[in-house]
Chain A
Amino acid sequence: MILRTGPFSAQVSRRFLWALPVLLAAVAALVWIAIGAGATPTTATERLSALRGEGLIGDLRRPRILVALLGGAMTAASGIILQTVSRNGLADPGLLGLSQGSVVAILIGGLVFGLGSGALVWVGLGGALAVSVLVLGLGRGTLAGGGIVLVGLAVNIVLGSVTEIVMTSGDATRFARLAVWSRGSLAGVSAGDLRLIAVWALVTVPLLLALSRHLAPLLLGHDAARGVGVDTRRLLPALVLLAAALSAPVVVVCGPISFLGLIAGYVARRLVGDAPTEVLVTGMILGGGILLLADTAGRAALAPLVVPAGLMTSVAGVVVFLLAIAADRRLNR
């Protein structure tokens, strides 16, 4: 199907046209539930004004919801780019070690050099970039069959040990606090954090959408992509840089959110097929929705117990993901 709007035209699959409004509606419904969920009961009018950022409820819930949506979308996008670049559906900023690279850089920058959160994004970006270059460099040519993911895992283990050195150098209270952050949580999100994420999203997401049309040839393999005239030597580093820039700010604000990129990418491809731009858009909506769902369920379902979003995505996310694959297999048998 071909869409035409003035001078622009794009080929869009039927499945994408179905999935897009359904997903957007689901996310909108989720936002409506999330803005109403919490210790204080809210009426519909109060929810509307809270969504506009008015009142205490708006001040407390709105940044958290927006950070979940943006952060989830950015993490998912980062994962999908890495999946395309490495031609491996299991790639994810967490599994490939990018998040852990940011974590180490941020811990050292924050605890040893006492940097503020604005500067920490750049430090985290540096960490993520260094790791992505290392992992993609080492795993070059070993992309199929999960090889690169294992390289990422090994790098993750080494970086995790460095994190441990930093975390265990203080007292037990600090250890517990850093441990919660290092597993991902939106509990500390404030309006300042939202601004930080929003600025990075404003820069990275348009770039991402602009670059996304070059992703399709990459799916055929880097050689084939060069064959159809894609300058892979420039495109690949740009994409990796973008993947790092999408995940680093999220790590600074929420800590690493495990498996989100993996899950969002998998589900998006099952929904809309392989066209990169469609997978990206679908995956980002899914990523934002999943993180918002995880965070809202974590803070509301067991209240007054607050379960961190990172825990929700890694437990519920992994279980649902595995069940989805199982169901998928059964249907296709």
Chain B
Amino acid sequence: MRLGVLVVLLAVLALIQVAFGALWIPPARVLEALTGPPRDFTDTIILQQRLPRVAVACTVGAALAVAGLVLQKVMQNVLVSPSTLGINAGATVAVVLAMFFGMSGGTLLFPALIGGTAAMGATLLASRLIAGQGDRRLDLVLAGSMIGILCSSVSTFVISLDPDLFGDLMGWLVGDIGNFDYLALPVVLPVVAVALAIALILCPQLDLLTTGEDQARLLGVNTALLQGLALALAVLLAVAAVVVVGPIGFIGLVVPHLVKLAMGETGRATLVAVALTGPCLLMLADILARVALAPRVLHVGTVMGLSGGAIFLVMVLALVRRGRA
């Protein structure tokens, strides 16, 4: 039932997405293009430029949201997500470096994987080191932001070496679904599909982890293996998204939280709901990006940073207050 509502919402947002763009195309004309034979360039815009954008928004939104959910389950920490753990920034710097060395397209996934994994590893290591007497969950996020700042400093430096090579990268660096990397799609789409399927299969085992590691071990779960597998899956999903659309933050943080409010945090239905809500949020942000300062078009990454940062702030305050009470 709730999933049905989400599907309808997704369809409506997708239709608005297709109507919006550099030029406004009335929804009636959109439906015409979707059903009738192609006539002019408007059909090209709808069928070959805007529909792929919707497809990308769905794939990437789902990938980031599910990555966030898996991370939160494995780490038992509502504040972690691909962006707060530094995975996005790590993948970004790896992609920028790889591009400087002449790589492009789908092959960028491999350096991005290395970068994302390394950044997450560094975050985990750093969080152990800075761990104070306080909340361990906060240490992790603090470490993630340190690694994130470090990575983006390096990206900035590499770009400054030859801005003419990276000029058309501005939107991607901030994160945007309007300007995505067409070249990487053929590699990234299947990867995301397979990873989402695996996440769906593993879902019951992951839910066991949320009851506590000891409990899960008693029930015969190989926790170390499961955790490792889940982390790898999350990094893969997040990194695949970064390669295509750049580091869009907070989808992975906010979406699991929203879904949890409505339908709890365990079960396959929750995972599907998260995979549906991610694209909804992303498209909503994209529509906002187009109307907020119209005629100037903002980047989705900026809108997500603004709104996601505010939501993150509320979450942090709630968490800290509860910890104190």
- Give A contacts to B, CB under 8 Å: 89-90, 94-95, 138-139, 141-142, 144-147, 149-151, 153-158, 160-162, 164-165, 168-169, 171-173, 175-177, 179-180, 182-183, 258-259, 307-308, 310-311, 314-315, 318, 322, 325-326, 329
Residues of A within 8 A of B249 (CB): 157
Q: Map CB proximity to A onto B242-263 as digits: 1 under 8 Å, 0 otherwise.
A: 0000000100000000000000
**Minimum CB–CB distance for A181 against chain B, Å:** 10
The number of chain B residues with a CB under 8 A from chain A is: 53
CA distance A169 to B296 in the complex (A): 9
- Closest 7 pairs between A and B when the two form their complex, measured CB to CB: A145-B134, A161-B305, A157-B309, A172-B167, A154-B313, A158-B309, A147-B320
> A83–B138 Cα gap in the complex (Å)?
17
Residue with the highest number of chain A CB atoms closer than 10 Å, among B157, B303, B317 = B157
Q: Is the CB of B154 within 8 A of A161?
A: no
User: Is the CB of B61 closer than 8 A to any CB of chain A?
Assistant: no
- Pick from B45-53, B65-73, B142-150, B191-199 the stretch touching chain A: B142-150
The contact sample of 16 A-B pairs, CB cut-off 8 A, is A89-B132, A141-B324, A142-B321, A144-B134, A145-B132, A147-B320, A149-B142, A154-B310, A154-B313, A158-B310, A158-B313, A311-B156, A315-B153, A315-B154, A322-B125, A325-B130
Q: Is the CB of A164 within 8 A of B316?
A: no
Establish whether residues A142 and B317, one from each chain, have CB atoms under 8 Å apart when the complex forms.
yes
Looking across the interface, which residue of chain B has its beta carbon closest to that of A161?
B305
Establish whether residues A154 and B312, one from each chain, have CB atoms under 8 Å apart when the complex forms. Answer: yes
CA distance A153 to B250 in the complex (A): 13
> CA–CA, A158 to B250, complex, Å?
12
Q: How far is the CA of A117 from the CA of B263 in the complex (A)?
A: 53
Interface presence of B211 (CB below 8 A): no
Q: Does B174 belong to the interface (CB within 8 Å)?
A: yes
Name the A residues within 8 Å of B129 (CB-CB): 322, 325-326, 329
Question: Which chain A residues lie closer than 8 Å to B132 at the CB level?
Answer: 89-90, 145-146
A145 — which chain B residues lie within 8 A by C-beta? Answer: 132-135, 138, 320, 323
Establish whether residues A318 and B138, one from each chain, have CB atoms under 8 Å apart when the complex forms: no
Bound-complex Cα distance A156 to B152 (A):
14
List residues of chain B with CB within 8 A of the CB of A326. Answer: 129
In the bound complex, what is the Cα–Cα distance between A145 and B319 (angstroms)? Answer: 12
Partner of A258, one of B141, B149, B160, B312: B149
Chain B residues 295-317 with CB under 8 Å of chain A are 296, 298-299, 301-303, 305-306, 308-310, 312-313, 316-317
- Asked if B160 contacts A150 (CB within 8 A), the reply is no
Q: Does B11 have its Cβ within 8 Å of any Cβ on chain A?
A: no
Nearest chain B CB to A179's CB is how many angstroms away? 5
Q: Which residues of B contact A89 (CB under 8 A)?
A: 132
With the chains together, A149 CA to B134 CA distance in Å?
12
> Measured between alpha carbons, how far is A94 from B148 in the docked complex, in Å?
13
In the complex, chain B residues whose CB is within 8 Å of the CB of A325: 129-130
Chain B 280-305, CB within 8 Å of chain A: the 1/0 string? 00000000000001001011011101
CB distance from B89 to the nearest CB of A (A): 12
The distance in angstroms between the C-alpha atoms of A323 and B96, with both chains bound, is 27
> Chain B: which residue is nearest A176 at the CB level?
B163
Query: Among A138, A175, A318, which residue has its beta carbon within 8 angstroms of that of B146?
Result: A318
State which residues 102-142 of B face A: CB under 8 Å.
125-126, 129-130, 132-135, 138-139, 141-142
- B6 contacts chain A at the CB level, 8 A cutoff: no
Q: CB-nearest residue of chain A relative to B315?
A: A154
A310 CA / B299 CA spacing, docked (Å): 26
Known A90-B130, A145-B138: A138·B156 in contact at CB below 8 Å: no
Task: Evaluate contact between A151 and B153: CB separation under 8 angstroms.
Answer: no
Which one, A141, A157, A173, contacts B163 given CB within 8 A? A173
A175 to B155, CA, bound (A): 13
Contacts of B313 in A (CB 8 A): 138, 151, 154-155, 158
Check A153–B142 contact: CB distance below 8 A. Answer: yes
Instruction: Report the minimal beta-carbon distance from A120 to chain B, rounded to whole angstroms.
Output: 21
Q: Is the CB of A176 within 8 A of B159?
A: yes
Q: Is the CB of B305 within 8 A of A160?
A: yes
Q: Does B183 have its Cβ within 8 Å of any Cβ on chain A?
A: no
Given the complex of chains A and B, what is the CA–CA distance between A89 and B142 in angstroms? Answer: 13
B168 on the A face (CB < 8 A): yes
Taking CB as reference atom, which chain A residue is nearest B133?
A145
Given contacts A307-B157, A311-B153, A318-B146, contact A157 B312 (CB under 8 A): yes
B310 near A175 with CB under 8 A, answer no
Assembly CA distance A89 to B146 (angstroms): 15
Minimal Cβ-Cβ distance residue in A for B162: A176
A residues near B126, Cβ cutoff 8 Å: 318, 322
Residues of B within 8 A of A165 (CB): 293, 298, 302
Q: Shortest CB–CB separation between residue B79 and chain A, in angstroms?
A: 8
How distant is the Cα of A169 from the Cα of B310 in the complex, in angstroms?
Answer: 23
Tell whether, in the assembled complex, residue B156 and residue A168 are in contact, meaning their CB atoms are under 8 Å apart.
no
In the complex, whether B170 has a CB less than 8 A from a CB of chain A is yes
Could you tell me if B149 and A172 are in contact, using CB atoms closer than 8 angstroms? Answer: no
B166 within 8 A of A: yes
